[in-house]
Amino acid sequence: MFRPKLLFTSLAALALGACSPQDPQAVTSAAIAKSVILPTYTRWVEADKQLAVSALAYCQGKETLETARADFLHAQKAWAELQPLLIGPLAEGNRAWQVQFWPDKKNLVGRQVEQLVVAQPQIDAAALAKSSVVVQGLSAYEYILFDAKPDVVNAEQKAKYCPLLIAIGERQKQLAEEILQNWNNTDGMLAQMTKFPNQRYADSHEAIADLLRVQVTALDTLKKKLGTPMGRQSKGVPQPFQADAWRSQSSMTALEASLAAAKTVWEGVDNKGLRGLLPAEQKPLADKIDAAYAASLKLFDSTQRSLGEMLEDDAGRQQLNDIYDSLNVVHRLHEGELAKALGIQLGFNANDGD
């Protein structure tokens, strides 16, 4: 006789629980995971599916080189947008290296692609997965489509590189699908950023701290990706071939996409980003970070030339210096004042020791 009453009591308690004020950090972590990170990963999967289709169509003569290159640039932009969202499975087990190999100071991409097309002329995705990370991802794909040495405009050369191109497209699709599935699993990353405690996070504060650490590391990486070709690590001597996408001349587009994605974590959807966690008295800091993002993105938007072209004259180099300085402001605000305001001890980041 008591069971219905007990059931009713339990449901009432659940209903009351649902109406009670929730932990704002848990709400923010869940909102960023569902409304920012997951849609970005989904777009990445769709771009890589198209990349796999594109490689096959191009190699079968059903698609032009221009279209194949455009599909690559689309996949590369989708990957760039993931840089501030490298949290969970994609940040583990060398997976990010399997998508993009950078920095490549010794042209390992070019050298290893050339070795592979000779050693395994009919390579497929399964064999590629067992190969070096250097040849598995977008960096090798870009080399084949854009570098002068493969010269895929020549039909004979195209036939030589096509098995590897198709294998990379398929490998990237499989990797992206695997990561997205890991996110959506019962105990996957989405669940771990939504309900606490769990295997990864003891509480929601740990999840928010992890998000901020990833942001700080990504912003630091953006500075490195711009600063290295500018010569900031080589006594001011420009190193244009150290840009992460120098062959396709799309480094600036990729950097801008990464910065815009970082801004979505800061703002969130419906103000449920890191910004929304700042108390009212921290409005001056929130305004400062808003302004820093706006200033940097405006500078990116005003660039009409590739990174390589800008390195060739004083005006271009000054423009790049201004962009670098603006990125530095965004990075330092996250690393310093924002971390302090959110009560987060950052400690080690993935770029330490580089």
Q: Are 197 and 205 in contact (CB under 8 A)?
A: no
Q: pLDDT grade, residue 349 (50/70/90)?
A: low
Q: Which is nearest to 173 in space by CA: 141, 203, 204, 201?
A: 141
Domain positions in the chain: 24-341
Mean pLDDT over 268-297 rounds to 98
Q: CA 73, CA 332: separation in Å to the nearest integer?
A: 30
CATH superfamily placement of domain 24-341:
M75 peptidase, HXXE motif (1.20.1420.20)
Residue with tokens 């209903």: 15
Q: What is the pLDDT of residues 52-61, one digit of tens each?
A: 999 999 999 9
pTM: 0.92
Q: What is the pLDDT of residues 140-173, one digit of tens each?
A: 999 999 999 999 999 999 999 999 999 999 999 9
Give the count of beta carbons closer than 10 Å to the beta carbon of residue 186. 6
What is the CA 44 to chain-centroid distance, rounded?
Answer: 9
Tokens standing for residue 20: 């009670």
Residue 12 has pLDDT above 60, yes or no: no
Q: What is the reported pLDDT for 22?
A: 85
